[in-house]
Amino acid sequence: MEQSVKKQFEDYIKLIEQKLDEFLPVKYPQEIWESMRYSVLAGGKRLRPMLCLETCKVLSGSYEQAIPTACAIEMLHTQSLIHDDLPCMDNDDYRRGKLTNHKKFSESTAVLAGDALLSFAPQIIIQKTPDSVSKDKVLKVLEEFLISAGAEKLIAGQVVDIDSEGKQIDKETLNFIHENKTGALFKLSVRTGAILGNADEKTINALTMFAEKMGLAFQIMDDILDVTSTLEELGKTPGKDAKEQKVTYISFYGLEESKKQVASLCKAACDILEENNIKSEVLTGVVKSISERVC
Amino acid sequence: MEQSVKKQFEDYIKLIEQKLDEFLPVKYPQEIWESMRYSVLAGGKRLRPMLCLETCKVLSGSYEQAIPTACAIEMLHTQSLIHDDLPCMDNDDYRRGKLTNHKKFSESTAVLAGDALLSFAPQIIIQKTPDSVSKDKVLKVLEEFLISAGAEKLIAGQVVDIDSEGKQIDKETLNFIHENKTGALFKLSVRTGAILGNADEKTINALTMFAEKMGLAFQIMDDILDVTSTLEELGKTPGKDAKEQKVTYISFYGLEESKKQVASLCKAACDILEENNIKSEVLTGVVKSISERVC
């Protein structure tokens, strides 16, 4: 990645982590707030909030309007990880190189911390979005947020994923899982960024397609890394897909063909930006970081 | 309860159940929507949505504006029960006389059904509230809803409740638990009903105090019934408080004094209505049903 793009990534990550820290207080009862903060502030690539902020900036010249929404999406993403890691779901001990929430605290705290984040995230959108954004637009963003978080998107993906363990699923089912489990939040990020950046329908649709390609590339890389990476590099347990007999892109296409698909999806994503005259080093940088990701 | 009030209760319950059924579709993946519907449509007293609808009606002459919010509050209440019943929390097998969600489906489905309801409920407020309600008011209702659902209210109560098991807690802590675990949603119901019914600040505050008294009376009755009732009457396992060494109103005040407190709180609640000239057979009927409840 070029030095100038790397610097922009670092600046965004710094801003996002500072705002997440600021938005999440420690109140009574401390344990629940601390467990929410533990997972939200545990690092991570912050790709989703970065996509939201940059999309808004590239369209309107400023990202200030999008900061609460960007942070809310990261909280939602964290919530889904906390609950995914629970013993009754993926039963993971490590996430982002640290103990998972239920291992650090307790299972009941992890369930409740996830629940609390699910309410707190949209609350932040309402309370912290600047008054310069119309109420209409805040409601539109909230609606997209809540749909993406729910049983029509994120949770639909998770449910079908769990149901598919140990089963021979077809490519359509695998695509459904990834479009919803991973794609939904990438789409939400650019769509809300675009709404807050006053984009027209055509641009919103183009960015949605961009996010679709990118989300799928991200997920295929996830499958690849689960095969090729170590716990140290990955920050979470590798080799889980095989252990849980999960059908992945690798099982359909093999490692080499999967890598080619990532490259092709990343190219398609960048082409969409170019065709729609959306010029952003950060958006293309995110795509590049996916094709080159090692964790 | 008088026949005319009983009829009004029945009409409200019928309306609420019809609307809950209508708002909750069955989509793909069916299992998650069916598990949401299983718990939401499992009966129950529907006191919270009834309070919301009646408060709106008594103030503005109509309850139409409040139907989506009333149903959303019932979905939130159901979500909290589904997660409370999980093995890592209260580990209950029965609720409302039926198997709990995780017993009927699976633990992972119960976690995800709760999560899905947490997003779906505010989504319904946005999508189904009639256009006659201003965007400002919808956002105000949503904000109150999300705060009540989160770590400042409902979840705060649940966390302190779990932390207190087997410990000698003081009366303040017991009050904190009940004010948040039970009181928060009673307050939310009348407050949102009042906001949607165009109430002034004074009336909203009076109704908040009314709900506080009523919520506490409801909770003390819960403690009483846990001692005096059977599984058949209660629809859930009785005697759990003693088994889990939970400090309750009974442990502080004994059974007789607790019953007196219920009567005194119910009277205080009705007095607030009278002092503020809020005339509603249904609101006083709800209070009465609490003082007389057997399940």
Total domains in chain A come to 1
Q: Which residue of A has its CA nearest to B135?
A: A135
Return the beta strands (E) in chain B as ranges.
94-95, 98-99
ipTM here: 0.95
> What's the Cα-to-Cα distance from A283 to each of A13, A50, A55, A224, B207, rounded to whole Å?
14, 9, 8, 22, 50
Here the tokens at position B59 are: 């103030």
Q: How many CA atoms lie within 13 A of A60 on its CB side?
A: 21
DSSP state of A91: -
Please report the residues numbered 87 through 126 in chain B whose beta carbons come closer than 8 angstroms to any beta carbon of chain A: 88-89, 106-109, 111-112, 114-116, 118-120, 122-123, 126
Residues in A closer than 8 angstroms to B146, CB to CB, are: 119-120, 122-123, 126
How many C-beta atoms surround the C-beta of residue B230 within 10 A?
A: 10
Beta bridge partners of A94: A99
More confident residue, B64 or A232: B64
Asked if A34 has any chain B CB less than 8 Å from its own CB, the reply is no
Measured distance CA(B246)–CA(B181) in Å, rounded: 15
pLDDT of residue B166: 86
d(CA A146, CA A133): 19
Statement: residue B239 has pLDDT above 90 = no
Q: A279 or B230: whose pLDDT is higher?
A: A279
Q: What is the pLDDT of residues A51-71, one digit of tens each?
A: 999 999 999 999 999 999 999
pLDDT of residue B165: 87
Cα separation of A28 and A20, whole Å?
A: 19
Mutate to test the interface with A, among B111, B131, B173, B185 (most CBs of A within 10 A): B111
Residue A205 confidence (pLDDT): 98
Interval B165-204: pLDDT, tens: 889 999 999 999 999 999 999 999 999 999 999 999 999 9
Residues of chain A below pLDDT 70: 230-234, 236, 238, 294-295
- Residue B44 to residue B289: CA distance in whole angstroms: 13
How far away is chain B from the Cα of A107, in angstroms, using its nearest Cα? 6
Tell me what percent of the residues of chain B surpass a pLDDT of 70. 96
Select from B106, B122, B159 the Cβ nearest to the Cβ of A31. Answer: B159
DSSP percent split of chain B into helix, strand, coil, nearest 5 = 75, 0, 25
Q: Is B25 on the interface with A (CB under 8 A)?
A: no
- Mean residue pLDDT of chain B comes to 94
Distance of CA B119 to the CA centre of its chain: 18
Partner B contacted by A173 (CB < 8 A): no
pLDDT at A294: 62
Residue A248: partners with Cβ closer than 8 Å, 6 or more residues away: A174, A223, A226, A241
What would the mean pLDDT of B251-260 be, rounded to a whole number?
Answer: 92
Residue B113 is part of which domain span? 3-291
Chain-chain contact of B120 with A151 (C-beta, under 8 angstroms): yes
For residue A184, the surrounding DSSP H or E stretch is: helix A184-196
The pLDDT score that the predictor gives to residue A232 is 65
**Nearest by Cα to A176 from A147, A192, A208, A152:** A152
Q: How far apart are CA B26 and CA A257, in angstroms?
A: 37
Q: Say yes or no for a CB contact (<8 Å) between B109 and A159.
A: yes
Kindly determine whether residue A126 and residue B112, on different chains, have CB atoms separated by under 8 Å. no
Asked if A165 reaches chain B (Cβ–Cβ under 8 Å), the answer is: no
Looking at residue B282, its pLDDT comes to 97
Residues B34-53 have pLDDT tens digits of 999 999 999 999 999 999 99
Q: Is the pTM of this model over 0.90?
A: yes
State residue B98 phi and psi, 5-degree precision.
Answer: -125, 165
Q: Do B119 and A89 touch (CB under 8 A)?
A: no
Residue of B79, B143, B152 with shortest CB distance to A126:
B143
Q: Which pLDDT score, from 0 to 100, does residue B295 have?
A: 59
Provide long-range contacts, Cβ within 8 A and 24+ apart, for A94-99: A94/A231, A94/A235, A94/A236, A94/A237, A95/A39, A95/A42, A95/A235, A95/A236, A96/A42, A96/A43, A96/A44, A96/A235, A96/A236, A97/A43, A97/A235, A97/A236, A98/A42, A98/A235
A239 or B56, which is more confident?
Answer: B56
Sequence letter at residue A201: E
Residue B240 banded pLDDT, cuts 50, 70, 90: confident
More confident call, B242 vs A43: A43
Q: What is the mean pLDDT of residues B234-261?
A: 82
Q: For A182, which DSSP code?
A: I
* Contact: A29, B160; criterion CB under 8 Å: yes
What's the CATH number where B32 sits?
Answer: 1.10.600.10
pLDDT in tens, B90-128: 999 999 889 999 999 999 999 999 999 999 999 999 999
Confidence of residue B241 (pLDDT cuts 50, 70, 90): confident
Identify which of A88, A127, A150 has the shortest CB distance to residue B119.
Answer: A150
Nearest to A208 by CA among A157, A260, A148: A148
Alpha-carbon distances of B80 from A172, A204, B292, rounded to whole Å: 34, 36, 25
Cis amide linkage into residue A238, ω under 30° from 0 = no
